[in-house]
Structure 1
């Protein structure tokens, strides 16, 4: 019998494990949980760091936007929370991916594009009545992160200019797929956008197969410390099924 607390995915960054219970949110119509997006941020960060210890793309866990928007965490405390595990040097930085939750009901994604000086707003269900609040919260994130990135420890070269994130142009890409009104796919959209990293202008398609692919990719990820164990168990299971 399977146990919900059994870990199937253990990232090299000790932040959030992918237990059976967490991965069950990827079943059809399941509501994606915070732990899964945190797990994905850990795995994507390690993948980027395997190419460069100071990666040009950063993936923040959900705790970052939650702490900023709750007005409870000052920049110095935030730096301690995420610098070692999820950040590098701003001199090399191209993008930051930031998942945001709206009133514990809806996930959307903010991408800070440092090369183009843009704030890319990605929302699979842009409700007219909530857009103003979501954009206002996005601006708050930008102001906060601008202050955070004033810290000289984030730079390789002392006199490199600090990015003025609050002045980045906000961009809402056109022609993106939206979720059905009664679906729980918003978190799956966010996870897929993070995986895609802006290729093809953030155009993606999400369906039940997307959920299955995301689950398989997480379990078989090269930076899952349990990847070998999972593969061995799969072979045993396949033998037993014959």
Structure 2
């Protein structure tokens, strides 16, 4: 396979997507039983956001994997966070239908927060059993 074949250079850039590039080495995170790093999720979020903007209407916001860190650790207000990310990850207006936010629990596992704006409901999508 072109991506995962033996003897191929790991530093070759295979994905270039609006400021997010992924090398063959980084794409190996997609192999089974491999830790999925945030840069993969961020590249996917960027691609999905580009697709939503191409629709030319309001749609979901796909936020990068480091969004929560930047807001909390940098002390950004929600307004500043939206301003900083609106051109890359958000649809063209401040109205959206859903917000998808990947979260990392202390580098142990990923889960997804989905905010349904119209219903004002938050869903947590997590593959870990709740009794652990």
TM-score (norm 1): 0.47
Q: Distance in 2 between matches of 1:104 and 1:85?
A: 25
Structure 1, unaligned runs of 5 or more: 130-242
Q: Aligned-pair RMSD on alpha carbons? A: 1.8
Match for residue 51 of structure 2? 47
Q: Check conservation: 1:66, 1:101, Cα contact below 8 A.
A: no
**3-state SS in 2 of match to 1:44:** helix
- Partners of 2:42 and 2:36 lie apart in 1 by 11
Please give the per-residue CA displacement for 1:23-70, whole angstroms capped at 9, x wherever unaligned.
101112111111100110011111111111x53111000111122343
Provide the C-alpha distance between the structure 2 equivalents of 1:78 and 1:84, rounded to a whole number of angstroms: 11
CA distance in 1, matches of 2:118, 2:108: 32
Structure 2 Cα separation of the partners of residues 123 and 36 of structure 1: 18
Counterpart position of 2:37: 33
Aligned-partner Cα distance in 1 for 2:58–2:89: 9
Give the structure with the higher percent strand: 2
* CA–CA separation in structure 1 for the residues paired with 2:39 and 2:76: 23
Match of 2:104 among 93, 101, 104: 101
Give 1:151-190 correspondences, 5 Å limit: none
User: Quick one: which of 102, 111, 114 aligns to 2:114?
Assistant: 111
Q: Could you tell me which residue of structure 1 aligns to residue 4 of structure 2?
A: none
Divergent runs of 4+, >6 A: none
Deviations 1:124-143 (A, max 9, x none): 114446xxxxxxxxxxxxxx
What residue in structure 2 maps to residue 74 of structure 1? 76
Deviations 1:123-162 (A, max 9, x none): 0114446xxxxxxxxxxxxxxxxxxxxxxxxxxxxxxxxx
The 3 A distance-change label for structure 1 pair 55 and 19 is farther
Contact 1:17–1:35 under 8 Å retained in 2: no
Stretches of structure 2 that go unaligned for 5 or more consecutive residues are: 1-6
Partner of 1:214: none
Q: TM-score, normalised by structure 2?
A: 0.83
3-state SS of the aligned residue for 1:84?
coil
Tell me the alpha carbon deviations over residues 68-104 of structure 1, each in whole angstroms, 9 at most, x when there is no partner. Answer: 343x23225423431221123233x100100000111
- Give distance in 1, aligned partners of 2:49 and 2:109: 24
Q: Given the superposition, is the C-alpha separation of residues 67 and 128 from structure 1 closer, same or farther in structure 2, using an over 3 Å criterion?
A: farther
